[in-house]
Amino acid sequence: MSVHVSHTRRPEIPAKPRSRGRQRRWSVPRAAAFWLVALAFAVTMLGTTLPTPLYTFYQHRLGFSSLMSTVIFAAYAVGVLLALVLFGRVSDAIGRRLTLLPGLAFAALSAGVFLVADNLTLLLVGRVLSGLSAGIFTGTATATLADLAKEGASERATLVATVANMGGLGAGPLLAGLLAQLAPAPVKLPFIVHLAMLALVAVGVWLMPEPVAVMGRPRLRIARPSVPEPMRGTFVRSGTAGFAGFAVMGLFTAVAPSFLGRLLGLPSPALAGAVVCTLFVASALGQITLVPRLGRAALPAGCAVLIVGMALLATGLAARSLVLLLAAAVVAGLGQGVSFRAGLAAINAEAPSGQRAEVASTFFLVLYVAISLPVIGEGLAAQAVGLRTAGIGFSLAVALLAASALVALLRAGRDGAASAELRIPARPRRIPR
């Protein structure tokens, strides 16, 4: 299931006169609020990847398997999907500020649960709460930045939202890995630091002005995923590429510490955090720098780069090479970022205006399924045939999936060119006199 998500910007309605007994709430200027929301966005997304380099500590302490590590990671996707289903349109009804604050509250609850987690149940609960915070915050914060941006600066707002989102995701494992490596209390200090950061950005969100008119009481509008018939080909091709890219992101985030510790003999939380951070930074660079330059070729190019990244990952696992693993993170991150942004743009371009939000929600549903189910499959395979063989098999499967999307895109491009050529009227012959 998914929800209709709408981020259309509406003009702010002047506030009605208030009674003398009530004072108007003081707020910061819109320009300052823009950057405060961007910072809150980054801090919230930072928390969603904060546990990544710490899974090995929990494994040693609680004695669970690599499969359970992937299940704990996948619980995050459950929280995101619940938030998309239940709260996708809430900010249109109660306002951006009053939606962002509960998102921060869920992030704080997640950090608090991880702070005291001493069993599997609490770890799962912490991940679901983290997913709820991300699901509420991602769409709402992106819309808020667009609302607070100056007139005609929508592209700048989108760029800032992308950097805040991917930058936060990349900073989380790096921060936790460094703290776990260099400071005491490796499974507690990262969450204490995150709670302090959340407290600071919550003040900024509280002081922001409400950029949209509140329309009334919130209504939960839940609908089944749907895609209009004329654009299903585009959706399948973009969804396949996006699925492959997000599966790779899920794999690196869930099992990179195990790859480094058990296969390469490098059980360093700081190194694990740096590898995952590299993937997210590369994804952001791909979205920001490559997609605008590649234009219509971006989606096929993203699939091709993703295939190369998977070849590097499989080779790195087979050769037990840290250099190849880092190269795979860079190349796969670039491919994931390009294919994701280009695929979403292709879907938005073809979706009917009245169904654009519904189709986008269905697309994100596919992507978050890709984060969870393939990673659990990787955990099951690791138990059966070993982590190295399972990782190589996963790499090959994702490469085949990206290759199928690439072939479909190239075929659709040729068919479209042929159809366009058939539509060109033939040049009339000159009849000699």
What is d(CA 46, CA 65) in angstroms, rounded to the nearest whole number?
25
Is residue 396 predicted with pLDDT exceeding 50? yes
pLDDT band at 50 (very low <50, low <70, confident <90, very high): very high
pLDDT at 11: 44
User: Where do the domains of the chain lie, and which CATH numbers do they carry?
Assistant: 28-213 (1.20.1250.20), 228-417 (1.20.1250.20)
Q: Which CA distances in Å does 211 have to 29, 38, 428?
A: 11, 15, 59
Q: What is the pLDDT, as a whole number, of residue 161? A: 87
Tens-digit pLDDT profile for residues 4-26: 444 444 444 444 444 344 456 78
**φ, ψ for residue 377, nearest 5 deg:** -60, -40
Q: Where does the pLDDT of residue 89 fall: very low under 50, low under 70, confident under 90, or very high at 90 and above?
A: low
CA count, 13 A, side-chain hemisphere, 213:
9
Please tell me the least confidently modeled range out of 19-23, 248-252, 375-379. 19-23
Instruction: Tell me which of 312 and 63 has the higher pLDDT.
Output: 312
β-sheet bridge partners, residue 222: 3
| Cβ–Cβ under 8 Å, residues 192 and 199 | no
pLDDT digits (tens, 9 = 90+) for 189-241: 999 999 999 999 999 999 999 887 776 565 656 656 678 888 999 999 999 99
Which pLDDT value is given to residue 217? 61
Angle at 11 between CA 10 and CA 14, to 5 degrees: 135
Given a cut of 60, whether residue 303 has pLDDT beyond it is yes
CA angle 336, 319, 395 (to 5 degrees): 30
- Residue 141: which of 192, 87, 194 has the closest Cα? 87
Measured CA distances, 32 to 29, 147, 186, 201, 205 (Å): 5, 13, 35, 12, 11
**Angle CA 215–221–226, to nearest 5:** 130
3: which strand partners? Answer: 222
Each residue of 129-179: pLDDT tens digit? 999 999 888 888 888 898 898 877 777 888 898 889 899 999 999 999 999
- Is there a contact between 359 and 228 (Cβ–Cβ < 8 Å)? yes
pLDDT greater at residue 7 or residue 84: 84
Please report the pLDDT score of residue 417 as a whole number. 53
Residue that wins the pLDDT comparison between 88 and 209: 209
Q: Find the mean pLDDT for residues 366-380.
A: 88
Q: Output the six-digit token pair for 244.
A: 């492959």
What is the per-residue pLDDT for 224? Answer: 62
Reply yes or no on whether the pLDDT at 327 is more than 70: yes
d(CA 354, CA 431): 51
The pTM score is: 0.83
